[in-house]
């Protein structure tokens, strides 16, 4: 399992590092606003799932139009192929999704992105 928060989802390197360390699912508690949410929420979760061939789960507070900060809501779960498994709306909800880990192996066999990386051209270093 990998865990990052909100804005961290925008950094593909972080998701890749977690995946390379064995994360099969990336969990992201986040509260995108009403500007970035409609434009980027689903896109980023699907993108990270496809880039890393893993599951991604975004957990957001429900939308409260009377709050000083209005969260987008729309909690989501995405499979390694980028398919949305389930998604809430703006309202409070409980979502259920089966994360079949064998799906990861099937996707990675079908499209071996991670094994095709050219690590001879760059280096990731521990800080």
d(CA 20, CA 8): 17
- Where do we find the tokens 């089966």? 98
User: By the 8 A CB rule, do 2 and 26 touch?
Assistant: yes
To which H or E segment does residue 113 belong? none
**pLDDT tens per residue across span 65-121:** 999 999 999 999 999 999 999 999 999 999 999 999 999 999 999 999 998 988 889
CA-nearest of 114, 104, 122, 94 to 26 is: 104
| pTM to 2 decimal places | 0.93
- Residue ranges in 2-126 assigned as alpha helix (H): 12-20, 36-52, 102-110
List, in order of start, the domains of the chain with CATH numbers.
2-116 (3.60.110.10)
d(CA 107, CA 105): 6
User: By the 8 A CB rule, do 53 and 16 touch?
Assistant: no
């Amino acid at each position: 399992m990998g865990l990052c928060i909100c804005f961290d989802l925008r950094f593909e390197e972080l998701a890749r590092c977690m995946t390379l360390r064995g994360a099969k699912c990336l969990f992201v508690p986040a509260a995108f606003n009403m500007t970035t949410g409609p434009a980027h929420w689903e896109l980023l979760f699907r993108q990270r799932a496809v880039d890393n061939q893993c599951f991604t789960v975004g957990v957001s507070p429900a939308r409260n139009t009377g709050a000083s900060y209005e969260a987008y809501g729309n909690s989501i779960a995405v499979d390694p192929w980028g398919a949305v498994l389930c998604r809430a709306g703006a309202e409070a909800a409980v979502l259920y999704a089966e994360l079949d880990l064998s799906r990861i192996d099937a996707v990675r066999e079908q499209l071996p992105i991670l094994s095709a990386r050219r690590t001879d051209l760059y280096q990731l270093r521990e800080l």
